[in-house]
Structure 1
Amino acid sequence: MADSYHDQLLKDSQFLVADKRMDTELVDKLVLQLNRIYPQILNDKEAHKFRNLDVPTGVRLAELLAHLPAKGEEACQEFYRALHIHAEDVYFSLPTRVRRRETADPTGTNNAVVLRERFVLNDRGPWFFLGCFGVAVGLALLYYYGDSKVFGEARKVLGITAVGLGMQAKELLISYTDDTDRKP
């Protein structure tokens, strides 16, 4: 059975107070959203109290999280909605959300991990990419700005490399090698 938002907020409160992503700016956004859109949840006086910069952010957040359950189920639900809007990464890392995803998927595969793995191009990391890119740029610079006597034969290699490419790339490379053969 699903927990109510009130119960979820009580379980997530400790995590939210300890999370470093819950900075002053984010807490202010949440308070303003609850105050402006739902003034019945946080009136102006309460919003001013929770936005007071003289009080540390962790203390203000803890007071807000203790205050919302007293306002009722709708206040807790609107806090989660505001958190989802302004800090999606924090929202999806809440203990109640993680547990809900894990229990919703009985096979044991976590969809968040699957989505992250789908976008990984290779497992070698950025240094491998930078190394390959650097070698390619270096060879290209050497090829185009190098001595034509040294690389005269290398241009003919372009005609051979066109074998595995598409028709337009093949025509371009072959025409380039033909043009360079005629000039000298």
Structure 2
Amino acid sequence: MELADGYHEQLQRDSQSLCSDQRMDTELVDKLVLQLNRIYPQILSDKEAQRFRNLRVPTTVRLAELLVHLQGKGEEACHEFYRGLHIHAEDIYFSLPTRVRRREAADPIWTNTGAGRRERYVLNGRGSLFFLSCFSLAVGLAMLYYCGEVKAMKGPGSLLQYSALRLSRGASDVLISYADDGARKI
């Protein structure tokens, strides 16, 4: 596939995929028809829009007829259909065969894949639980530092000593000494 293909050719290639996609439900087809009718009445007149929104006809049949109709209208109609699909259903739009081929052609060494992006943002391999525990420890220490005097809290000594049980040796020593100093001041 050449990158210079027009929207008409792309719609011809994508028609089968669009008609077989289960995500192209009645609501989405109606949104696309309404957008084409309201914004571009020269592409889809009121009478044509009513025909493509007829609920007595199965959605797949209506969608297939709409795609054939748009292809008959020309390049601009196909382009506006893709714009509407991009607005209302981005996931479907980016999963179309012509879009996938276009991304692969633009990025032949696959640096733009999901795995590549995910790998780029991973800071460590320990996971979210490690981050959450470090963050909780930092918040706890910040609260101890910024909450003021120990006497402002009611009996924090035993609480601090019990919370130091699962920490490393250095961190637990700091918490226990802070609790002992606070108990002496009270």
Q: TM-score, normalised by structure 2?
A: 0.69
- Alignment partner, residue 54 of structure 2: 52
Cα distance change, pair 15–57 in 1 and its aligned pair in 2 (3 A) = same
54 and 107 in structure 1: CA distance in 2 versus 1, 3 angstrom threshold? same
Match of 2:171 in 1: 161
Give, in whole Å, the separation in 1 of the partners of 2:48 and 2:120. 44
Counterpart in the other structure of 1:79? 81
Displacement after TM superposition at 1:122 (Å): 8.3
User: Structure 1 unaligned runs (5+)?
Assistant: 137-149, 164-169
Among 33, 36, 39, the alignment partner of 1:37 is 39
4+ residue runs over 6 A deviation: 119-125
**Residue of structure 2 in register with 1:10 after alignment:** 12
Q: Which residue of 2 aligns with 1:115?
A: 117
Report the equivalent of 1:102. Answer: 104
Structure 2: segments with no counterpart, 5+ residues:
137-157
For residue 24 of structure 2, give the secondary structure of its aligned residue in structure 1.
coil
Question: When the two structures are aligned, how many residues end up with a matched partner?
Answer: 160
Decide whether aligned partners of structure 1 residues 36 and 176 sit closer, same or farther in structure 2, where only a CA change above 3 A counts: farther
Query: How far apart are 1:105 and its partner, in Å?
Result: 1.1
CA deviation map 1:41-92 (0-9, x unaligned): 0000000111111111111111111110000100000000000011111111
Is the 8 Å Cα contact of residues 156 and 177 (structure 1) preserved in structure 2? no
Assess if the C-alpha contact under 8 Å between 2:37 and 2:46 holds in 1.
Answer: yes
Secondary structure of 2:102's match? helix
Residue identity matched to 1:16: L
What is the aligned partner in structure 2 of residue 23 from structure 1? 25
Relative to 1, partners in 2 of residues 1:43 and 1:152: Cα closer, same or farther, differing over 3 Å?
Answer: closer
1:153 and 1:5, CA in 2 relative to 1: closer, same or farther beyond 3 A?
A: closer
Q: Distance in 1 between matches of 2:125 and 2:23?
A: 28
Q: Which amino acid aligns with 1:154?
A: Y
CA change 1:86–1:176 in 2 (3 A) is: farther
Q: What's the Cα RMSD here?
A: 3.8
**2: CA distance between counterparts of 1:179 and 1:64?**
76
Instruction: Name the SS of the counterpart of 2:108 in structure 1.
Output: coil
> Distance in 1 between the 2:17 and 2:10 partners?
11
The SS at the match of 2:41 is coil
Deviations 1:130-156 (A, max 9, x none): xx99xx9xxxxxxxxxxxxx9885355
